[in-house]
Structure 1
Amino acid sequence: MAVCDRCGKRAVWRDTESGEALCGEHFSAWYEHLVAETVCRYGMIPAGSRVAVGLSGGKDSTVLLSVLVKLYPDTEFVAVTVDEGIADYRDETIRAAETLVKRLGVEHRILSFADVCGKTLDELLAAAPERACSVCGTLRRRALNLAAREAEADRIATGHCMDDEAQSVLMNYLRGDITRVAENYKTNAGDLFIPRIKPLCRCTERATVAYGMVNHLLTSLPECPYTRYALRAGVRSELGLLEYTYPGTMLAIVEGQEELLAKLGPAVGEVRRMGVCERCGEPTENRLCAACTLLAKLEERG
């Protein structure tokens, strides 16, 4: 039986890169330190912040909210749950979210796709379920922005871990999306959007799940039925195999992307000025924002 390298108790975690074995107590402290270090490194939560935390009820967002409340007791947090309207899936995760916020004593707001656009995700995808991830992602971003603005939050925290970040980098390359690969963000977007932060961006999904299990935070929940249509599912599988074979692969990908953006530097020329959507008033560089453009196309198709 493996024992903790720091205290000799039964180990629950072995780091794939360093080989260090840790007991539950020392692993939890290690994980929390990693989150705090990441928040500090990127200046994610300035003093006096009011942070809206995207809480789906799933493992990543559950760990995120639990750790943030523990690490930053003087910060105001409001949990925001988006109900997409997915039959036989979302109801259970919402109940898990409600149980967590009650235990933590955190304000909770729930906003549905029906509130945002008048239809559930199931209704929007009735004729094109293969478009689930692009439709859901676009509308979820709008819902989070709306809820955070209504809650008067000045930050939106999401539970994206290092796996998610690495997957996104690879997906941008696979799609040939050079705009996102080399984005330098030289716009006035910071004046219009509520800033997004990702406190778990240097924590692997494996470590995040382990933290949730060790601290009895997780419950068994169903998987989103639209996952089978996602490019991310294939990328997740292949990247997971690479990380297992070559530990540190994901960290190299996300840090490489940061180095690329740093070397590209600021754009040449004038700052791209963003305005507001003619239809909903949300920030955009175009006549209609991404969400309204998407909804208009779905309306045309009936």
Structure 2
Amino acid sequence: MDWKNYFSKFMTIKCKKCSTPSIIYQPYSGLHLCEKHFFEDLERKAKLTLRQRYPIRKNDVIAVALSGGKDSSVALLLMHKIFGNRPDIKIIAVTIDEGIAGYRNESIERAKEMTARLGIEHIVRSFSDEYGKTMDAIASEKRLLENHLGDEKKELGACSYCGVLRKKILNKVARDIGATKLVIGHNLDDEAQTIMLNHFRGDVERMVRFSAASELNGFIVRAKPLRKIPEKEVALYAYLHDLPMELTSCPHSFGALRKEVRRMLNGFEVNHPGTKYSLVRGFDNMVPLLASGLAVSDLQNCEICGEPCNDSVCQACKMLEKNVLQS
């Protein structure tokens, strides 16, 4: 993004809270904000989200999923700013190397540089270590399988595989290090997109699980301090703090349904500012009602890997077994 051109649109307009030139306009709030008040606004939202949904308690161990992109980097910086000086709170960054040539290796180096600069412990785990193969290999197997079985097997994209397999390792590492919270960098756009995807799939149980703010039998609480902050504002915050910014697209992300949902929601947001906030707010109000009348499946241990899941075999093992047995 051309940030200089972006800033030039607002520099002639004063900040709503002081006389300093603004650097951003928030259509949903009607506010022009300078750098100082933009920082305060974003950090206030993150702190409020943590306090209301994911309260950090004495002696908590916070694992932060750090990909090396803007969202996870901002999440880590905020955790460091808010809790870095508390001796009773431990922050550990966890990076997953999926094994995507020309993509993940560069972001891992940026993640290492950031954690070294902040003095934060950093753990790196890989698909190769956990599953014996890289995401590149899994995607290649998947393409061969689809070509062999036909179009009816193409409903799960590579992003679905990658997301499930990555989340499994993150949860396992977080549990192994004694983490009480697993911070992930999902922003407002991510939350709104996921809510819409679950609506489209008619997966009510997943919607309830997605909203969980307490630990469930081996699943570490996912804390999302950025869930009320638009992606563009997260990107601006990262840029102004000289944080890592993901400049390349994942080579396996083509054709993902999420991209279509993203375009749709962005269109609504332009024409009706605040749409994404309304969608997330409505979801938060709706979930308790759904949960009260829904018999959520009991969690059990996967027969193959032993990890907690809501079936006899976890989704990650199902994906891996299907690729191996049918490719």
TM over 0.5: yes
CA–CA separation in structure 2 for the residues paired with 1:265 and 1:178: 9
CA–CA separation in structure 1 for the residues paired with 2:120 and 2:205: 38
Q: Is the 8 A contact 2:70 2:246 kept in 1?
A: no
Matches within 5 A, 1:1-302: 1-73=12-84, 74=86, 75-129=89-143, 131-181=157-207, 190-219=216-245, 221-267=247-293, 272-302=297-327
Cα deviation digits, residues 204-230 of structure 1 (max 9, x gap)? 111111111222223453111122221
CA–CA separation in structure 2 for the residues paired with 1:14 and 1:200: 18
CA–CA separation in structure 1 for the residues paired with 2:312 and 2:272: 46
Q: Is the 8 A contact 2:185 2:224 kept in 1?
A: yes
CA–CA separation in structure 2 for the residues paired with 1:181 and 1:35: 22
Shift of 1:24: 0.8
Identity %: 36
CA–CA separation in structure 2 for the residues paired with 1:146 and 1:220: 26
Secondary structure in 1 matching 2:28: coil
Amino acid at match of 2:257: L
CA–CA separation in structure 2 for the residues paired with 1:98 and 1:168: 29
CA–CA separation in structure 2 for the residues paired with 1:286 and 1:228: 30
Q: Is the 8 A contact 2:54 2:223 kept in 1?
A: no
Cα deviation digits, residues 4-52 of structure 1 (max 9, x gap)? 2222122111111222111111111111111001100113322221011
CA–CA separation in structure 1 for the residues paired with 2:167 and 2:29: 37
> Are residues 13 and 189 of structure 1, via their aligned partners in 2, closer, same or farther at CA, if it must alter by over 3 Å?
closer
Task: Report which stretch shifted further, 286-295 or 122-131.
Answer: 122-131
CA–CA separation in structure 1 for the residues paired with 2:56 and 2:311: 31
Secondary structure in 2 matching 1:37: helix
CA–CA separation in structure 2 for the residues paired with 1:82 and 1:72: 23
CA–CA separation in structure 1 for the residues paired with 2:99 and 2:112: 17
CA–CA separation in structure 1 for the residues paired with 2:209 and 2:179: 26
Q: Is the 8 A contact 2:25 2:33 kept in 1?
A: yes
CA–CA separation in structure 1 for the residues paired with 2:251 and 2:169: 21
CA–CA separation in structure 2 for the residues paired with 1:185 and 1:209: 24
Secondary structure in 2 matching 1:40: helix
> Are residues 261 and 202 of structure 1, via their aligned partners in 2, closer, same or farther at CA, if it must alter by over 3 Å?
same
* Count of matched residue pairs: 300
Q: 5+ unaligned residues in a row in structure 2: which ranges?
A: 1-11, 144-153
Amino acid at match of 1:113: F
Amino acid at match of 1:201: R
Q: Is the 8 A contact 1:132 1:229 kept in 2?
A: no
Shift of 1:175: 2.5
Q: Is the 8 A contact 1:124 1:298 kept in 2?
A: yes
Secondary structure in 1 matching 2:91: strand
Amino acid at match of 1:5: K
Shift of 1:265: 4.3
Shift of 1:179: 3.1
Q: Is the 8 A contact 1:189 1:274 kept in 2?
A: no
CA–CA separation in structure 1 for the residues paired with 2:246 and 2:292: 45
What is the root-mean-square deviation of aligned Cα atoms in Å? 2.1
Shift of 1:76: 1.1
Q: 5+ unaligned residues in a row in structure 1: which ranges?
A: none
Amino acid at match of 1:162: L
Secondary structure in 2 matching 1:227: coil
